[in-house]
Structure 1
Amino acid sequence: MSQDEAADFRTRTGQARRARTRSKILTAAFDLFDARGIEKVTVDDIRTAAGLARGSFYNYFATYEDLLKEMARLIARQITHEQSVYYDAVPDLAERTWSNLRYAILRVASDRPCAEILVRIIPLVGPISDTMRERADRDLARAIDSGAVKTPSPDIALDFGYGVATMMLHRSLQGNLSADDLRAAGLMFLRALGVEEAKAVRIVRKPLPAMPALPLRGAIISAPAP
């Protein structure tokens, strides 16, 4: 084995080791959040559950809050991928806008730790990842250009969407999110975007989407490291 090959082998081995350790941290955090809630878990709890030496956690995340932000980013990344698969082909852009938002709410609400993380992080940072922001910006711009929605401020419209999502996730964590709540939120959201009422009613009455069999946190853990 040449020196270059040996160096490449060491690099790949180190990267694989870091990816495994990172996956252990995320898995331990999700499991503990599920059992206790994010407010009752500490860095030491996660480190112990992941089988790490004292201080090793900080080789991956500077603080507990940084871990939550990274987990939120991974949630957003997975949701964005799934939205692309299910809804990029929907021709009506107003319908696509609500379908994407509704799917995100339902998918996250189906996995309590993910909902807790986003409820804590979204008010601090808004769009959780560049990919999420770019996708939302692109889809809303297309909807505006086509006349499917009308809004004087795309930025405020996007913030309104994040607010609707946060409100619905709050309700899900309290056990109060119903199909009627979701339809009411969708109608409010679409009407605020200038969608004619009859059309908005038709859109929000569309059947709820089926959720993937793999829980959201499982999809995140099994996805390739970014």
Structure 2
Amino acid sequence: MQIQDHRQRVAAERRERMRARLFASAMKLIAAKGTAATSIDDVISAAEVSRGTFYKYFASPDALVQELAIEIANELIRMAEPVVLSHDDPAQRVSCGIRLVARLAIDHPLAASFLVRLGWPDVRGPNILLEFVRRDLLEGIRQGRFAPMPIALALNIVAGAVLGATHCMLEPDCESDFAEQTAAAALRALGVDAKGAERIAHSALRPVEILAGGLLVQTSAAMAAAQPR
């Protein structure tokens, strides 16, 4: 039994190393060439693996990018959760989450571009980023902090705010406080009074702790390597 467990553990570790290798190769290529111009041949050549090995892990380049976006979303949630939970007020928590995700575009534009590729989420199904905020929306409605509404509507308000803000903040001419403007607008739509929404959205935002060796660090390194010397 111990031998079997050891073999399973070694096999799982090998799979994770290969996934990480393919992710790293894809990030470097996408940073240099863009998603549309990156092919399976590019990825397998950069990762120095066979086509068969690629297909053991991903059905297509799009599937790889989708998986990478999900991994980045998971990492972002792990980093943001301690900051969000430092607030007791559900409105503060929702605002904090919107601002942290949107501001990802400033320091980690490649990571933010992967998140944008996840597209409009199905608010009635499982979604990593929306599950992150569902708890606080439900609590805010229960407390009367937010207006009574179907949770699907509240989730759509937040999803639209985050997706739109991230899109805008990837553009060079976007206002520097667009994340705060977006959070205030979302809070108003959820039923927070205008003055309260502005105050909350522009309150001090504690920085997240970037995970050493994580995907955000890797995407930044890929972007730096892609810059002309």
Q: Which residue of 1 aligns with 2:203?
A: 206
Distance in 1 between the 2:125 and 2:106 partners?
16
Distance in 1 between the 2:99 and 2:25 partners?
29
Q: Which residue, out of 157, 160, 175, partners 1:160? A: 157
- After superposing the two structures, state which structure 1 stretch, 147-156 or 92-101, moved more: 147-156
Work out the percentage of aligned pairs sharing the same amino acid.
27
SS of the residue 2:117 aligns to: helix
CA contact (8 A) 1:107 1:211 kept: no
Q: Which residue of 2 aligns with 1:73?
A: 70
Q: Which residue of 1 aligns with 2:179?
A: 182
Matched, 1:102 2:84: no
Matches within 5 A, 1:5-20: 5-20=2-17
Q: Which residue of 2 aligns with 1:224?
A: none
Distance in 1 between the 2:174 and 2:155 partners?
22
CA contact (8 A) 1:73 1:128 kept: no
Equivalenced residues, count = 218
Matched, 1:217 2:219: no
TM-score normalised by length of structure 1? 0.85
Which amino acid in 1 is paired with 2:37?
K
Matched, 1:195 2:192: yes
SS of the residue 1:38 aligns to: coil
Q: Please, which runs of 5 or more residues in structure 2 have no aligned partner?
A: 220-229
Indicate how the Cα distance of structure 1 residues 51 and 58 shifts in structure 2: closer, same or farther if over 3 A, else same. same
Alignment RMSD, CA only? 2.5
Distance in 2 between the 1:151 and 1:219 partners?
40
Matched, 1:53 2:60: no
Report the Cα offset of residue 210 of structure 1.
Answer: 2.8
CA contact (8 A) 1:75 1:220 kept: no
- After superposing the two structures, state which structure 1 stretch, 170-179 or 135-144, moved more: 170-179
Report the Cα offset of residue 63 of structure 1.
Answer: 1.6
Q: C-alpha deviations, 1:94-114, integer Å up to 9, x for none?
A: 111111111111125422222
Distance in 2 between the 1:220 and 1:140 partners?
32
Q: Please, which runs of 5 or more residues in structure 1 have no aligned partner?
A: 222-226
Distance in 2 between the 1:124 and 1:36 partners?
27
Which amino acid in 1 is paired with 2:53?
S
- After superposing the two structures, state which structure 1 stretch, 132-141 or 73-82, moved more: 132-141
CA contact (8 A) 2:104 2:112 kept: no
- After superposing the two structures, state which structure 1 stretch, 149-158 or 187-196, moved more: 149-158
- After superposing the two structures, state which structure 1 stretch, 39-48 or 207-216, moved more: 207-216
Distance in 2 between the 1:72 and 1:152 partners?
30
Report the Cα offset of residue 79 of structure 1.
Answer: 1.6
Report the Cα offset of residue 129 of structure 1.
Answer: 5.8
